[in-house]
Amino acid sequence: MDRLTVTGTKFLTPAIASKQELIAEIERHQKYYDRLAEYEDTGLTPEEITSIIKEGVPSWIPKYLEYRDAEEQGLLIKLPCKVGDTVYWISHFKKGINSGTVNSIRISKFGFDLEVSNGNALFWREQEKIFFTREEAEKSIETN
């Protein structure tokens, strides 16, 4: 579908009896033009708009908008893993790879810290020193 509007264009109308009437007429036509431009900016055809109206708002849209607002406010975060996941780290003492289970995740202004247990001890690890697959840990040993 070809656009009927060009963004930024102002609509002009023929001369009317008074200056005030002319201004009012121009403003009225400009509103129509702006509304048409907004519609065209959606990229949807009239048939698609009609279909959306008939079907109603999909059930996931309100939740999506809630998440988007939370993210914009800095309230939505993506955790590095789940509690219960197995993680890996390099043991410089034994020159090998250790693994453990994530018991909790602590969030601070510096990032994430993971509370990990390996059967013998419970300790905190910084996310930057944790690998989420054994392959990542092995690759890190090879590159260092």
Q: What's the rounded Cα separation, in Å, for the pair 33 and 109?
A: 48
Secondary structure string (H, E, C) spanning 63-112: HHHHHHHHHHCCCCCCCCCCCCCEEEEEECCCCEEEEEEEEEEEEECCEE
From first CA to last CA, the distance across the chain in angstroms is: 57
CATH architecture of structural domain 86-143: Roll (2.30)
Give per-residue pLDDT as tens, 11-31.
555 555 678 888 888 888 888
Under-70 pLDDT residues of the chain: 1-17, 94, 121-128, 144
The full set of domain ranges for the chain reads 86-143
Please tell me the chain's helix, strand, coil percentages from 3-state DSSP, rounded to the nearest 5. Answer: 40, 20, 40
- Per-residue model confidence (pLDDT) at position 17: 65
Q: Identify whether the C-beta of residue 97 lies closer than 8 Å to the C-beta of residue 88.
A: yes
Write down the residue that tokens 């279909």 correspond to: 51
- Per-residue model confidence (pLDDT) at position 84: 95
